[in-house]
Amino acid sequence: MKYVLPALAAIVTATAVFAHNGVTDPVVLARMEAMKRIGGNVKVIGDMAKGEAAFDADAVQTALNAIQAEAAEIPAYFEQQVLVEGSEALPAIWQNWDDFVAKAGDLEVAAGSLSVSSADDLGAALQQVGGACAGCHKTYRE
């Protein structure tokens, strides 16, 4: 679990500081906001895994449900090819659209298939979810 957490922390906090890199395009902002919401839900689980929040199975399930639902929306947020300065989206998204959609599906399936009944399950859950984030980011995000 330990090796997963730094990567997740980076995913979740990377952009908070930069306020979306000064982007003003509404299409790009909407997809960034969607990603931020996903990150916020991962953080709910991550905080429990790190012991910074008490284990709460219902809250974990709510976060997983939200990630699952948000993952299903990812293709819609990226449907329009908009590339502006400050965006970290790579043109490869639209060159390999079916694969991009499949990677959103991987996250949807990962979040939807997990069941977390004790704090001991959190590490594995984060690994599954975080793996699906990374699976897309490493190819399609700068």
- Chain residues in the site for ligand HEC (CB under 6 A): 11, 14-15, 20, 28, 31-32, 35-36, 38-39, 42, 67, 74, 87-89, 93, 100, 103-104, 107, 129, 132-133, 136-137, 140-141
State which residue, 47 or 88, has the beta carbon closest to ligand HEC: 88
- Kindly state the smallest distance separating residue 18's Cβ from ligand HEC, in Å: 7
Cβ–Cβ contacts within 10 Å for residue 75, how many? 16
- Kindly state the smallest distance separating residue 140's Cβ from ligand HEC, in Å: 5
Burial class (CB in 10 A: 0-12, 13-18, 19+), 10: exposed
| DSSP 8-state symbol, 15 | T
Q: Cβ contacts of residue 126 below 8 Å, gap of 6+? A: 1, 4, 5, 8, 42, 45, 46, 49
Radius of gyration of the chain (CA): 15
- Kindly state the smallest distance separating residue 62's Cβ from ligand HEC, in Å: 15
Cβ–Cβ contacts within 10 Å for residue 34, how many? 17
State which residue, 50 or 137, has the beta carbon closest to ligand HEC: 137
- Kindly state the smallest distance separating residue 64's Cβ from ligand HEC, in Å: 10
State which residue, 39 or 60, has the beta carbon closest to ligand HEC: 39
State which residue, 88 or 121, has the beta carbon closest to ligand HEC: 88
